[in-house]
Structure 1
Amino acid sequence: MHTGTPKTAPSHVDGDSAQLPLLPRYLAAAYLALIVYASLHPFSGWRASGISPFVFLEAAWPRYWTLFDLSINVAAYVPFGFLLAQSFGDRPCRPCAALLAFVSGAALSFTIESIQSYLPSRVPSNVNLLCNSLGAGLGAMVSLCCGQRFFARVLRAQQRLLAPMPHAEYGVVLTGLWLLTQLSPETLLFGAGDLRHIFDIPPALRYDAPSFFALETGIIVCNTLAAGLIMNMVFAGRRPAPRALAWFFAAALLIRTLAAAVLVGPQSALAWLTPGAGLGLLVGGAALALALLLPATLRIALAGMALMAGTVLVNLAPLNPYSVAALAAWRQGHFLNFNGLTRLAASFWPFLALSYLILLGRRP
């Protein structure tokens, strides 16, 4: 007897036409944040020049320009137009969705160029607006031609790899974002949720080797638990959990090592491997192995508590002398915007992850 689809059926397997936009929406939101951050960083020195913020529209074609610069400005908006067109789906029709994506991309570029008039470190440009709009339009056209086929394949991969649960796509974005935060060599290993640099708050504690050792260990244990449990929830039942989690954390440590070697120097490649980090990985791994034996509801609660505890600890931790030295060395290069992006992602990741856990906790 046919019983119908259970209430706990995953959102991404209820039907291609209705559910395909889920992952593009998450990715489009993440890409939107990336564009805004890259375009308005460092978000300081705001000033009113006394002229209209739209005067750049009347400027003549710049004297100095390169094909490479124009291509970069076009290419930067192609993924956004592609993802946005897929986010709109077939409503009211596919060509209309593509047109709306193009208009939205152009409107975003116009808004950002206008806001840049108030930043002394930025120069608004009608050429950038033209190139960005063209990129959004190209992305929308690509979406119109092959977007549905591409995400249909992605959907089939989701059904093979992801757990049968709502909002699994959100979890995929979160795990990818967590791996991205490991590219920041001046932050503590797995340290996420540090808001002090955003609000310019001085450290609450002075550096002391024993207390720093304890705090570093606690931070790594908490974040290993939280990230591991979230990753396990996303992929549960599709891969052997211990093996998948081992590969996940091995990838995170490899990213951390390569980032430190490239951005700071080969001599700093393994500087993250401190006594506190080693102990934290061992204790966190053991705690995670035991936590996987708990029921799903308790795993969600434990992940939330680990997130909150890790965030508190990372905001109490004193400045790490290695982190200060690494940041000074990094700033000598051309990675300021990238540095700010990874630190911002690390700062807000626990709060994004907590919202995901709340969504999981509210499901039937």
Structure 2
Amino acid sequence: MEQDQPPLTSPADDQTPARQPLPRPTRLPLYLALAYLVLISYASLYPFANWRDLGLSPLAFLGAAWPRYWTAFDLAVNIAVYVPLGFLLALTLRHLPGRWSAAVAALLVGSLLSFTVECLQNWLPARVPSNIDLACNISGSAIGAVLAVWKGKPIFRRVAQLQQALLAPIPHAELGLVLIAMWLLTQLSPETLLFGVGDLRQVLGLTPAVPYAAPAFFMLETGVIVCNTIVIGLFTRTLLADRNAPHLVLFSFFMLALAIRTLAAAVLVAPHDALAWLTPGARLGLLIGGVLLSLLLLLPAALRIGFAGVALMAGTALVNLTPPNPYSEAALATWRQGHFLNFNGLTRWIASLWPFLALPYLTALGRRL
């Protein structure tokens, strides 16, 4: 009986490499662009107080003469701040037809944003609208958009590959990554409790419910740090791909957060206050929170998200009961004397709202797992 002959193959066929799977589409540029747009708007209009009408046209600043007092640093900052916005917007709009369509659209959005906030500054006594600022902002948007067209495609492809390698294939993992980045940004505020987010008392103008006493402050501070250590640890673990070493990644993440906190205190307050956050309550809270987090990491993903939500609500309640920290008040007084007033308000605003952004995300994610 004649046997079937095996198909003929050439050596070149055997050496043909397998095609690499395409990375999953990523929405990270979109989420980053939206977050950055909101942050710029807030920083440009802070402190949102004492609005008044001077009877001038909101467009009067367009014809103003060159300002008497200006510095090259101010011009550079106004350009640099809008470069990431133009870059991210152009990446977000990359599917528009034509090579330069995304760049033009990004430039228009950046220009419209700058024009809008400059007009609104007419009604804010602490802000001065400037045609120079507008021109610098537009220039920054243009630079960022051109960079996106020039180098955006390989950067975008690399980001998508890293996302596929590092993040779990869960819905809107990119949004969770942006929330994690926002949480890290809150650590730049040395006047808040360590890892403390969700304090609405200053936002709503509320007085502290509990008077300051050392034992009560110690217990509440410890509870706040325990809860938020669990929250951010479980949140980050949920975003990680299973093949990554979660304990090592989380340890590195917390070390990064503490390094940011230390550096911010040293630079914005004083070098000798770099470790002022390391109070007895902080040490105990980090210890207890770390132990509990290690145990909770053994649970399935759905249960981890549930515990993260409970800890988030508990931590938010505790931080609103914690009396003001005397060190925090001293740090705030020192910081506000410099040029970081807008940045101070921005970080506090993010810290106040972060739990109310994270909880809906965790809730929606838990329903899909």
Question: Residue 208 in 1 paired to residue 183 in 2?
Answer: no
Matching of residues 1-364 of structure 1 within 5 Å: 19-20=25-26, 22-363=27-368
Q: Percent identity?
A: 61
SS across alignment from 2:66: coil
For structure 1, which segment, 113-122 or 140-149, has the greater mean C-alpha deviation from structure 2 after superposition? 140-149
SS of the residue corresponding to residue 184 of structure 1 reads: coil
The one-letter code matched in structure 2 to 1:328 is A
Per-residue Cα deviation, 1:310-346 (whole angstroms, up to 9, x for no partner): 0011011111112112212222333222211211111
C-alpha separation in 2, matches of 1:204 and 1:339 = 24
Offset of residue 93 of structure 1: 3.9
Of 352-361 and 59-68, the range deviating more from structure 2: 59-68
DSSP 3-state at the match of 1:47: coil
Q: Cα offset for 1:62?
A: 3.3
Query: What code does the residue aligned with 2:354 have?
Result: W
Deviations 1:147-191 (A, max 9, x none): 121110111111121122221111222222212211111111111
Q: Give me the whole-angstrom Cα distance separating, in 2, the residues matched to 1:174 and 1:100.
A: 26
RMSD: 1.9
Normalising by structure 1, we get a TM-score of 0.91
Aligned residues: 350
TM superposition shift of 1:269: 2.0
1:123 and 1:272 map into 2 onto residues whose CA distance is 36
Q: Is the 8 A contact 2:86 2:110 kept in 1?
A: yes
One-letter identity of the residue aligned with 2:198: G
Unaligned runs of 5+ in 1: 1-12
Which has the larger displacement, 118-127 or 196-205? 118-127
Separation in structure 1 between the aligned mates of residue 112 and residue 337 of structure 2, nearest angstrom? 35
Structure 1 residue 303, shift from structure 2 partner: 0.5
1:95 positional shift: 2.1
- In 2, are the aligned partners of 1:163 and 1:238 still within 8 Å (CA)? no
Could you tell which deviates more after superposition, 165-174 or 287-296?
Answer: 165-174
Larger of the two Rg values belongs to structure = 2
Asked if the contact 1:221–1:280 (Cα under 8 Å) also holds between the matched residues in 2, the reply is yes
Q: Residues 57, 337 of structure 1: CA spacing in aligned structure 2 closer, same or farther, 3 A cutoff?
A: same
- In the TM superposition, what is the alpha-carbon distance from 1:362 to its structure 2 partner? 3.0
Post-superposition Cα deviations, 1:121-140, rounded to whole Å, max 9, x if no partner, equal: 21111222222112212211
Contact 2:194 2:225 in 1 (8 A): yes
What is the letter of the counterpart of residue 89 of structure 2? L
- Are the counterparts in 2 of residues 162 and 238 from structure 1 also a CA contact under 8 Å? no
- After superposition, what is the alpha-carbon deviation per residue over 1:169-219, rounded to whole angstroms, capped at 9, x for unaligned? 112222222122111111111110001111111101101122111111111
Q: Which runs of 5+ in 2 are unaligned?
A: 1-19
- Partner Cα distance (1:224, 1:60) in 2: 52
Kept after mapping to 2: 8 A contact 1:81/1:139: yes
